[in-house]
Chain A
Amino acid sequence: MMILDPPHQHHSPQEHDGEHKDEKHEEFGERIRQDFPILQARVKNKPLIYLDSAATSQKPRQVIEALKKYYEEYNANVHRGIYALSEKATMAYEHARFIIARFINAEQHEIIFTKGTTESLNLLAYSLSKQLKKGDNIVLTQMEHHSNLVPWQQLAKESKRDGKDIEVRFIKITGDGRLDMGHARQCIDDSTKIVSVTHMSNVLGTINPVQELASLAHEHGALLVVDAAQSVPHMKIDVKELGCDFLAFSGHKLFGPTGIGVLYGRKELLAKLPPFLYGGDMIHEVRFEDSTFADAPNKFEAGTPNMAGAIGLAKAVEYLQQIGMENITEYEQELTAYALHRLQEMEGITVYGPPDAAARGGVISFTIAGIHPHDVAQLLDRDGICVRGGHHCAMPLMGVLGIAGSVRASLSMYNTKEDIGLLIAAIHKAQKMFS
């Protein structure tokens, strides 16, 4: 049976080239891992090798404790009570908004809390649709997650009914999984009102040239929306530097709780944007005949918000800031390069997306000749290795790649080269079983 190649075993780092750097690097992942209780647990008496952080990340102890503290010590509805407990909860909720705003270089009232990327993008599609006119178009890419595709597609479909005929265009990808920028220039024209792109592909790992797309969109008077669900956990995000108008992400992929997400919008734009949901908290004054609405961000946060979620997410952000996003990016890039290298040298494996780790994040999709991705994922699970097998909510992209699905191993700051070694060994074993 196949076992790890000895030179790649973690306990013999002296066998590596550039041993010193490697050792430091291995320590980074190991150190971070200590903060994640679930990674200390054993599943079926095996340690958990979690390679599905693109689906959802694990949570550090600090976040779990912040949630517990909130529920045990200051749970109350926000913006409503006059009593001290409610004030404390309100302050914590608004402070969370402040921390998250600073994290992406935005202003506090430019941060709308939603339940995740999906809701953020639906909110935008709904609210922006009011501004669209007959003959306008929306530009997306072939590598979008369903949540940045279906809302726009349905908006366009709806627009046919009221004679607006909004067109949706898709920027093509190149053979190595990058955006075809020549095609982007063809797609984006003076009738383009919205360009909405993923910052990092959740299938190919590709990091898209958002700045360039922002300039291109703005030259034609279009807005640029960025789906940052996959990029925010892995790199420094500065909305001003990116030049985007809107940016969406999910808390649960960012080491925070589920059910909380963010929509950033430039303040001038949020001021003009109509609300998405109506109800309590988002109003200014209500009469039986009509209502006036609060200013952003409250205008977009109808109903009791996810207070614990926001507080937990802010804690996750503070945790990341302590580690330093640059350090995370550097560590993960080396890990990604290592994983790509190990996979690329195997027989019968096709890796999708840019071959160069510098142009991508640690989302690595591949297929194994003769083994369906579901079978791979199931066999790997028997060795305690969590990977995804399937279409990763990007069915149209699968069509472009000419496959029904792929296996996806996605890396995070708590993964190590040892995890990758185990992945490779388990793939060898699966290949052997199917041979």
Chain B
Amino acid sequence: MIRLSGRFRSALIIGGQGIRSRKLRTFLSMISLFLGVLAVVTVQAGAETAKTLRLADLELHIGKDGTRQMYIPSMPDAMDAALTTVAGKADAVGVMGYQAIIGEPNVVPINQGAAPFDNTDGGYYGPPMQMDCNPMTGECRPIKDEQAAQPTRGQAVELVLQGLTGDIRQFRPFRPVAGNWLDFSGDPSYSPRLVLNKEAAKGFTRYQIPAEMRVEGATANPTPRIVGVVDDGNSQPTAYVRVDEMRNWMPKTTANQMYGPGMQLLFAPTAGETEALVVRKITALGVSRDMLHVETINARKDIAEELAIIRWIFLGMAGLVLLIGVAGILNVGLATVGERVEEFALRRAVGTPRSLLAGIVLAETLLTGLLTAAAAIGLGVVAIDVGAGLFGSRVPQLQDLTFPWQAGVAGVIAGLVAGLLGGLIPAIRAARIPIATVMRA
């Protein structure tokens, strides 16, 4: 123990004297290594940031990791049972999907099929266009008569309407944009309160839409009230509503159609009892257990797999840049050892073990690697800070972006590996310097 610490202290003194007398060299090796370490840090920071952003997106879109998703078959009794079971539960939410058109009656909505507003023609959202082809000339043109028979396009938008039994934001953390979120306390209103997503809100601000809503299968046309706008990560115009405010307008029979509204239940990871209760009630109605498809959301794993290949490709390229830095350290290291041949021979002559000399050379390059890593990480932290400040107002996801610790770890590892690779050969050289040859008079 005493011998070890004596060695260590000797190494500190000798290494310190060496670095102090060659500050410029240390600085030059740092420069040669800097780009490589910075590349590794950047790739890691980029990959981690992409993962975080993508995860935030998926959380909005699909749900937080660990959430259990259950699809209820479109059978009215089963859906009724599910709805009544989760109603008022804090850890589970039922979602019923409807197609709804808001606006002028008897017109084709601007965005047929609830297409995004910037993509209303074409794409897979619209109805298939029909072509009339002349068998003689082979010439084709769209059929006009069909359109003439249909009601013309008018001031109406089509939405996906999501009827909720409770606050879905515990599973999908929607970001508020304007107004309020739905209030689930109190009695349902006869004028359904809607919260639009950003795409739906775009339709309402762009077109003059009368406030009359037609929902497939509804008995009458309710007049909705829009209470707020959220960002739900969805590009399809969507509105959220209390399901009981919708069902006021629905005869029970509509849900009987095979192509009626679909229903999805979301459970918190802790809601095992509620989930089991739903399963028991529905299977009691004679529905097979196999028809209740349940899955646990694990977006983190999916994203990691999705990004892994890209990350490795970029890390490979960063590794090449790092290799150039290693060559730089190696070059400077060999030159330094060449310059210090007499010093090392002398130190060996006075009894310094060769392992200690090799260790000192290696420690100097490792320290160079660490200092470089610190510089690269520092730059990364500042860059992300500045970037988040500059673009945070435009891209909300960037607002509370921080430097991912994984990038810091990668930088330190890259610096140490480069120091090790670049210092190993000089260290071996230093240990092999023969005393007799150097000191001979």
A, B assembled together: no
A binding-site residues for B, Cβ under 8 Å: none
B binding-site residues for A, Cβ under 8 Å: none
